[in-house]
Amino acid sequence: MYYHASPFGNTSRLEPRISNHGITLIYFSRKRENVLVYLSNAVEKYCRETGFAFDGIWQKWGPYGFDKEGRLCLEEYYPNALEETYSGVSGYIYSASEIEN
């Protein structure tokens, strides 16, 4: 099983979007819990909530990483990082039994 997180609901077909790498992709994980962190971008959320003007390309950033076994590791890079990044964020998790290239 593959999983994908999105802020958009009622989607019957996932469509590729331009990624941070400038390539059209859809990100999937075989671990459901790993996709949750992609629902929020700490920098983008901060700018929108505070009115800080930013006109560049949004790079995905959040207080997380993965260990050598691929397990999700949430980090408090600064005080209250997790709460500030994910508080009030909602989204949807989609699943697919198989994916096509």
Q: Where are the alpha helices (DSSP H) in 1-101?
A: 32-35, 42-50, 81-86
| Pairing between β-strand 92-96 and β-strand 2-6 as defined by DSSP bridges | antiparallel
Q: Which residue has the tokens 């590729």?
A: 16
Residue 101: predicted pLDDT: 72
pLDDT of residue 90: 93
In contact, 26 and 35? CB cutoff 8 Å: no
Give me the pLDDT at residue 47, please: 87
* Greatest extent of the chain over all pairs of C-alpha atoms, in Å: 41
Q: What DSSP state is assigned to residue 7?
A: S
Residue by residue, pLDDT tens for the chain (101 residues) are 999 999 889 988 888 887 777 788 898 999 998 898 888 888 888 888 999 988 877 777 777 888 998 888 988 888 888 888 889 999 999 999 988 87
